[in-house]
Amino acid sequence: MLPLPSRTNATNLSDDELILFDVMFDGGAAWNQLRRCNFHNQWAYPAHTLDDNLLRETLSLLVAAGMLSTNEFRGHTYYHVTPKGGSLWEKERLPVWERFATDCYSQIGGKAAVTIVASRPDTRDDFWRLGCQSGMFPYSCGRIRIGKLRRFNTLVSWRSFKEFHYLCAFLEDGETGYDVVPQIDQLTFEQERTWWRRIGENEKFLGPGATTT
């Protein structure tokens, strides 16, 4: 598990509020997923310090301030980062968006597939290459589809991007997931990684010359 990322202290957001934004910046979360007792297992991320009462109060205040929005689905309340909240979060964590990427897994026609989406084609291609070399993606041959998505805002709903680049490939089995599997050489993987998925991975790109827009 990665440690908490650094912050700039450019806003009045508390550390606990930032932790909530860290796990919600690219998707919503239900109340139960945000409770301290479930946080680590749910997100593989350091938990906030808020008990249930303080968490409810904090979420209510963030909604009232326009930094979070809510929607109801099947009897559950889901919280989502708004453009206002996302802008404040960006000032603290300085996400290097040109290095942002994600991988998701599905079944297509009964076959396991992975889809990589990145903000740059070279980042997408690096992700695929290193994933195959390291064994993260159990791939030997088969159909690969690549393309471009213009003005895509599905991955980060509160922020618009000019374009995203995707790759979709069939895998040999479904034994894959969000985290790098244990047999991978973690040191080599980290040294060669040119992208981030979770905000803690973004720290690698905050050296001299890193861009945040």
Sign of CA dihedral 207, 209, 210, 213: positive
Q: For residue 134, what pLDDT is reported?
A: 83
Q: For residue 188, what pLDDT is reported?
A: 80
Ordered strands of the 68-73 beta sheet: 29-30, 76-81, 68-73
Low-confidence stretches of the chain (pLDDT beneath 50) = 174-182, 209, 211-213
Q: For residue 131, what pLDDT is reported?
A: 87
* Sequence ranges of the domains in the chain: 15-93, 97-198
Q: For residue 9, what pLDDT is reported?
A: 96
Q: How far is CA 75 from the centre of its chain?
A: 26
Which residues have C-beta within 8 Å of that of residue 153, sequence separation ≥ 6? Answer: 159, 160, 161
Q: For residue 182, what pLDDT is reported?
A: 45
Q: For residue 180, what pLDDT is reported?
A: 43
- Residues in the chain, overall count: 213
| Rounded Cα–Cα distance for residues 197 and 26 (Å) | 10
Q: What is the pTM of this model?
A: 0.85
Contacts of 153-156 with CB under 8 Å at 24 or more apart are 155/26, 155/100, 155/102, 155/117, 156/25, 156/26, 156/86, 156/100
User: Are the CB atoms for 132 and 124 separated by under 8 Å?
Assistant: no
* CATH fold for domain 15-93: Arc Repressor Mutant, subunit A (1.10.10)
CB atoms within 10 A of CB 164: 23
Give tens-digit pLDDT for 18-76.
999 999 999 889 999 999 999 999 999 999 999 999 999 999 999 999 999 999 888 88
Q: Which of 116, 210, 194, 119 minimizes the C-alpha distance to 160?
A: 119
Q: Does 97-198 match 15-93 at the fold level?
A: no
Structure tokens at 213: 């827009």
Q: Under CATH, which architecture does the 97-198 domain have?
A: 2-Layer Sandwich (3.30)
| Rounded Cα–Cα distance for residues 201 and 100 (Å) | 10
